[in-house]
Chains A and B, each alone.
Chain A
Amino acid sequence: MSKEIIIIGGGQTAANASKTIKDSDKSYNLSIFSNEDYLPYERPPLSKQLLTSEKKIDDCLFYKEEFYNENNINFLPNTEVEKIDFKEKLIFTGDKNYSYNKLLIASGSKNRILNIEGLNQNEIFYLRNIDECKKIIDKVKKIKNILIVGGGFIGLEIASSMSKLEKNITLVESSAQLMGRIIPEEISRLVYEKHSQSGVKIFLNTSLKSARKKDQQYQINLSNNEKIEVDIIIVGIGALPNTDFLNSSDINIDNGVVTNEYCETSRDNVYAAGDVSNFFHPIYNSYMRLESWKHAQDHGINAGKNIINQKKNYEEIPWMWSDQYDLNLQLTGICNDYDQKVSRGNNLDEGIIFFFIKKNIIMGACGVSKGPKIGKDIRISGIKIKNQEIIDINKIIDKNIKLQKI
């Protein structure tokens, strides 16, 4: 088999795919093209321990430089892939081109941009990579009043980290509930209370109408007619798959690069995985695109295997987590397709979990606790989802019965 493998994007998916390939056979020629200046690193700390300076960049690398050297992985930083010619099997960067036998698209996702009347984009802060994180850290050192736009996971984690730094925080969310509708309303409310107790002022059903710069501050008009003054505006309103460089190419794109359960795209020898891929999930019998750390890891590993012909279908059950203050939230499966919703546990010390059940099969589970108390039960739920187990609902809700024993 020809051995020239190229990975586009140097994030978590790339790190895991390259390790899988090299662990199996060191003789593959493997190059990673990244438009960032850093070796692949974990993004979750960007909104958590990096933002509060509890961690350093070095602590967040998946693998240190020696790993890439010892495995002879050609990592090209600050190198943007601009175009692909699938017929000729070439990728283009600036005035150079490179040929591949197998290609993995692992370009992740990018920030959804918010246009704010009265402001230029360069006055608005976002958080997706180390450079953006550094910019926020530098800025907030000198200021006190922060506006966060977006009450999703990232916006809320930024609020939690900023409150540790004793800032005045206002957060606006355009919908009626924090963290969207994938999270049970009850958990969303608990999280709302936690933020409020920590001094974060939250406006739901509210958006930004306009902003005006005055000296070093911004005067903000909100849709609920409140007027506030802040020193920085940080926007976290979701992400979009990074597929712009594929616009002129002939490959199936629909909310990301479309792949089957083997990470294969519509083009021969071209694979996609992680945040950028809209993949077919055999258990749910539908396509999904996930922005989740665990998925990027497992999908990257799966892509690695399929690239080197260890054909393996991908059927991991979605799982993600968020840390806010001392709370740990975990979500597995899908929580929007159910005929019954039941709960287990009634306090944050021991954990509260909501199960989304359809025809007596768990479809999804979402929980919250102080620390990862819910971790085990969420994991067991994931196993039950994967096995499509028929469950006894009366047992599931009884905290005295171990979920593992059901």
Chain B
Amino acid sequence: MTDTNENWIYVCEADSIEVEDLKRFDHENDTYCIYRLEDGYYATDGNCTHEEFHLEDGLVMNGEIECPMHQGIFDIKSGKAKSPPACIDLKTYQVKVDDNKLYINL
């Protein structure tokens, strides 16, 4: 069964991202963050919802991403804003790994 809404885009080799780390991914005019946690890979929009700074230099810790600019915190799996000044959630995306190739569903 194929879902017509699926649009899997190749990102990178899965093992090029370390556990508890992230990688920035730019595609067309948009930008994303791809995270590797202990239990798998996750993806969110790349820019913080507070003042649109990129999260690529942020800290990944305990399943959360902390913005490098003013330390707003988001839950990586749900995108939920967890700590001010972040109050708008981040959009999340599906990711999958196939033979060490990492894809994002945009």
Q: Does B69 contact A (CB under 8 A)?
A: yes
Q: How large is the interface on B (under 10, 10 to 19, 20 to 34, 35 or more residues)?
A: 10 to 19
Whether a CB of chain A sits under 8 angstroms from the CB of B95 is: no
- Report which of B53, B54, B59 forms a contact with A380, defined as CB distance below 8 A: B59
A40 to chain B, nearest CB (A): 12
A376 touches B71 (CB 8 A): no
Please tell me if the beta carbons of A375 and B58 are within 8 angstroms of each other in the complex: yes
Contact with B along A139-170 (1 / 0, CB 8 A): 00000000000000000000000000000000
In the bound complex, residues from chain B placing their C-beta under 8 Å from that of A371 are 53-54, 57
Question: How close is B57's CB to chain A, nearest CB, in angstroms?
Answer: 5
Q: Which of A16, A297, A379, A404 contacts B68 (CB 8 A)?
A: A379
Q: 1/0 per residue A308-321: CB within 8 Å of B? A: 00000000000101
A-B pairs with beta carbons under 8 A, tally: 40
344-372 of chain A: CB within 8 A of chain B: 371-372
Are B57 and A375 touching (Cβ within 8 A)? Answer: yes
Chain A neighbourhood of B20, CB < 8 A: 404
Contact residues in B for A293 (Cβ distance below 8 Å) = 70
Distance of A293 Cα from B54 Cα, bound (Å): 20
Q: With A16-B84, A404-B20 as given contacts, are A294 and B71 in contact (CB-CB < 8 Å)?
A: yes
Closest to A55 in B: B51
The answer to whether B59 touches A379, judged by C-beta atoms less than 8 angstroms apart, is yes
Inter-chain CA distance A376–B66, complex, in Å, is 8
Within 8 A of A (CB), among B53-98: 53-54, 57-59, 61, 66-71, 84-85
Q: Chain B contact residues: over half helix, strand or loop, or mixed?
A: loop
B residues neighboring A (CB under 8 Å): 20, 53-54, 57-59, 61, 66-71, 84-85
Is the C-beta of A324 less than 8 angstroms from some C-beta in chain B?
no
The answer to whether A294 and B70 have CB atoms under 8 Å apart is yes
15 pairs of residues in contact across A and B, judged by CB atoms under 8 Å: A16-B84, A294-B71, A297-B85, A321-B69, A321-B70, A371-B54, A371-B57, A372-B57, A372-B68, A374-B68, A375-B67, A376-B57, A379-B59, A404-B59, A404-B61
A354 CA / B45 CA spacing, docked (Å): 32
Evaluate whether A379 and B71 lie within 8 angstroms (CB atoms) in the complex, with A16-B84, A297-B85 already known: yes
Chain B: which residue is nearest A294 at the CB level?
A: B71
Return B64 CB to nearest CB of chain A, in Å: 12
Answer yes or no: A302 CB below 8 A from chain B CBs. Answer: no
User: Which single member of B69, B84, B85 contacts A375 (CB below 8 Å)?
Assistant: B69
Contact B57 A379 (CB under 8 A): no
Q: Which of B54, B61, B69, B84 has the most CB of A within 10 A?
A: B84
A16 to B87, CA, bound (A): 12
Other than the given A297-B85, A375-B71, A376-B58, 7 more pairs (CB < 8 A) read: A16-B84, A373-B68, A375-B59, A375-B68, A376-B57, A379-B59, A404-B59
Closest 6 CB pairs of A and B: A375-B68, A372-B68, A372-B69, A376-B59, A379-B59, A373-B57
Check A379 against B66 for contact (C-beta < 8 Å).
yes
Q: Mark A389-404, 1 if CB is under 8 A from B, else 0.
A: 0000000000000001
Q: Which residues of A contact B58 (CB under 8 A)?
A: 375-376
Min distance, Cβ A389 to any Cβ of chain B, angstroms: 15
The answer for the CA separation of A301 and B67 in the assembled complex, in Å, is 19
B68 to chain A, nearest CB (A): 2
Asked if A206 is an interface residue, CB under 8 A from chain B, the answer is no
Q: Taking the nearest CB of chain A, how far is it from the CB of B83, in angstroms?
A: 9
Judged by a CB distance under 8 angstroms, whether A328 is at the interface is: yes
